[in-house]
Amino acid sequence: MPADIIDYRIVGDDMQGVIITLDPGEAVMAEAGAMMYMEDGIQMATTLDPNNQGGGLFGKLIGAGKRILAGESFFITLFGNGAAQRRDVAFATPTPGKIFVADLKQWGGELIAQKDAFLCAARGIDLDIAFTKRLGAGFFGGEGFILQRLRGDGLGFLSASGTLIERDLRPGEVLRVDTGCLVAMQASVDYDIEMVRGVKNIIFGGEGLFYVKLTGPGRVILQTLPFSRLASRVIAHAPAMQRQGTASGILGGIIGDQG
């Protein structure tokens, strides 16, 4: 089915949200838990099949299972405008970063994204999974065997961490990317992994064992701060922070006793 033509505006800078304005009868589907607010007249429905494409319960369960593999929830939430006037519904990113707006018509009708990037999309967009083509890319590419595929002719919204960088690769042009920095790419881009060369680079370079190797033609979207990298830094400093907190508590107790 053709995707609904929706209006939107992005709010915020480093912790963005998207406000989608729906005409009467229009709808948007979103990852469960992404909604920030909805105006009176917006009706919410949680479903296995947001596009009502049939196929029976078994087919719907298969689609839901695919969403779990792609890092999303079992259900998709549908927000429709049941009022007689235009109404807003808003969604927020789960991590600090940006929202990437993809007009799938400008992406050739198909977009491949990292497995947990989906935020919301116009009703009519088909959300599916895409297995990586090569075993090595699946094991070491940073996203496992599963990527997300969005198909259709409308708008899809992806959540990314940090700042977004867009690159257009020429035919045969190669771009080596940190395994967590890839957000999305056109289906025409070849996705593979490449091992870091040199023993010193592997041991002391701090970039891990592998890069993602992207070969054009096609468009690529990158993020500057993968959430996994941020989380690892926080975890690495947690023991030191805990020790400092314990020392501060002991010092405070001693001062308090002396007072």
**Residue-level pLDDT at 137:** 42
Query: Using CA atoms, how far apart are residues 162 and 220, in angstroms rounded to an integer?
Result: 16
Query: Tens of pLDDT along 170-183?
Result: 999 999 988 788 89
CA distances (Å), origin 1, targets 153, 188, 238: 9, 24, 49
- Residue range 218-247: average pLDDT? 70
The pLDDT, as a whole number, for residue 248 is 53
Statement: residue 187 has pLDDT above 70: yes
- Domain residue ranges of the chain, discontinuous segments joined by +: 7-233
pLDDT of residue 228: 64
- Of 63-72, 125-134, 221-230, 231-240, least confident by mean pLDDT is 63-72
Average pLDDT over residues 114-130: 86
* Whether pLDDT at 216 is above 50: yes
Q: pLDDT tens digits, residue range 29-88?
A: 998 788 999 999 999 988 765 555 544 433 443 344 444 444 444 467 889 999 999 999
* Degrees, nearest 5: CA angle 111-213-159: 40
Which segments within the chain are labelled E, that is strand? 7-11, 17-22, 27-31, 35-38, 42-47, 76-81, 87-92, 97-103, 110-113, 118-122, 126-131, 146-151, 155-161, 164-169, 174-177, 182-186, 190-195, 210-215, 218-223
Q: Mean pLDDT lowest for which of 9-23, 90-104, 114-128, 227-241?
A: 227-241
Confidence of residue 205 (pLDDT cuts 50, 70, 90): very low
CATH of region 7-233: 3.60.160.10
Question: pLDDT grade, residue 132 (50/70/90)?
Answer: low
| Distance from C-alpha of 248 to C-alpha of 242, rounded to nearest angstrom | 10
Please report the pLDDT score of residue 59 as a whole number.
40
How far is Cα 186 from Cα 41, in angstroms, rounded to an integer? 36
Report the alpha-carbon distance of residue 221 to residue 147 in Å, rounded: 14
**Contact indicator for 116, 34 with CB cutoff of 8 Å:** no
pLDDT at 253: 54
Q: Which residue has the higher pLDDT, 13 or 73?
A: 13
- pLDDT in the model for residue 249: 53
Low-confidence winner among 19-28, 112-121, 122-131, 243-252 (lowest mean pLDDT): 243-252
* Mean pLDDT to the nearest integer, 220-226: 89
